[in-house]
Amino acid sequence: MKVIDLRRYRLIFILFIIVLSLQILLVSVKFTLKMVYPFHYRHLIEKYSREYNLDPLLVAAIIKVESKFNEKAVSIKGAKGLMQISSITGKWASEELKIENYTEEMLFNPDINIKIGCWYLNLLNKQFNNNLSLVLAAYNGGSGNVSKWLKDIRYSEDGINLKNIPFVETKGYVKKVHKSFKIYRYLYKDI
């Protein structure tokens, strides 16, 4: 009887250690992922996401892919700031949003950059009926291009969804943002 009890207690102890180890591993993986997928500028992201009816985790995922949360980032094409706003989009948005004394340098200001980026995403959501893949393709490759692709049988069979994105960069961008968005939803699901 004592040998059976000892074995039972040993088995319970081993199971306890395994469960505890798995919990520690899960916590450390999540902690590490949060370092790789941070949520900097959370207050600004949440503020403008609410204002423009967006998921803040999507905005965080876009910023992660666009600039890795580097407010001073400049792309090869000259897009600036956290959400990589182009000069043309920045000027247009500043007029629409009535941003006084606008200069291109303001795109490095996180508050202005996130506001403009969220405003623009909201417009794309309206234009493309909240189809996330189309919105992301338009954010990266231009809304005019996405509209053309939807009319071209090579890229869209139904005029509503894209079966293929002809720009390699844009195709990769859409996949990266979808992946990042999924990870942000896992890490920050409390939002």
Q: List active site positions.
A: 66
Whose tokens are 């395994």? That residue is: 18
User: What is the chain's Cα-based Rg?
Assistant: 22
Cα–Cα dist 181/37, whole Å: 10
Cα–Cα dist 74/88, whole Å: 14
Q: For residue 164, what are the contacts with CB-CB under 8 A and spacing of at least 6?
A: 154, 155, 171
Would you tell me the crossing angle of helices 110-127 and 87-96 to the nearest 10 degrees?
A: 90
Q: Which among 115, 142, 109 has a CA at the least distance from the CA of 127?
A: 142
Q: Which among 181, 154, 149, 166 has a CA at the least distance from the CA of 62?
A: 181
SS3 190: coil
